[in-house]
């Protein structure tokens, strides 16, 4: 059996498995801002230029939650997400990153500037 690439993008199945395990443990929501569940492919680029494939978990007016296969250090990153017709680019300050099930990591951060978009499809 082939071992998955440790930096490959988590699948939707991976994301659901991790979220199900969290929901069983996390009974209260201590968050100040309403979050919307959002599951789309993303790419995180660190200040050193390393690219990490990710899936979004949720988004709010002020920040974003991500799931990925490698640890991302706290600090400024660029997060790219694409729809069928646009690419969205966000500057994000990753504030935390923790290991979770299936050898993956969850991270969260706050937006540093107003999101930008491009009319070019990716």
Give 2-46 pLDDT, tens digit per residue.
555 555 666 667 666 666 665 544 444 445 556 677 788 899 999
* Chain centroid to CA 41: 8
Average pLDDT over residues 56-62: 90
What pLDDT score was predicted for residue 34?
64
Q: What residue segments make up the domains of the chain, in order of their start?
A: 34-114
Closest CA to 43 of 87, 84, 6: 87
Query: Which numeric CATH code is attached to 34-114?
Result: 2.40.10.220
Average pLDDT over residues 97-119: 79
Q: Are residues 107 and 73 in contact, defined by beta-carbon separation less than 8 angstroms?
A: no
Q: Are residues 9 and 41 in contact, defined by beta-carbon separation less than 8 angstroms?
A: yes
What pLDDT score was predicted for residue 39?
80
What pLDDT score was predicted for residue 79?
95
Q: What count of other Cβ atoms lies within 10 Å of the Cβ of residue 47?
A: 10
């Amino acid at each position: 059996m082939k071992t998955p690439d440790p930096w490959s993008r988590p699948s939707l199945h991976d994301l659901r498995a991790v979220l199900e395990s969290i929901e069983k443990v996390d009974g209260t929501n201590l968050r100040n801002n309403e979050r919307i569940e959002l599951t789309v492919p993303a790419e995180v680029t660190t200040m050193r230029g390393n690219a990490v494939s990710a899936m979004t978990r949720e988004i709010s007016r002020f920040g974003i939650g991500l799931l990925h296969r490698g640890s991302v250090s706290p600090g400024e990153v660029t997060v790219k997400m694409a729809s069928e017709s646009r690419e969205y680019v966000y500057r994000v300050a990753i504030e935390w990153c923790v290991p979770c099930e299936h050898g993956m990591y969850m991270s969260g951060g706050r937006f540093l500037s107003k999101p930008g978009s491009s009319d070019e499809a990716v």
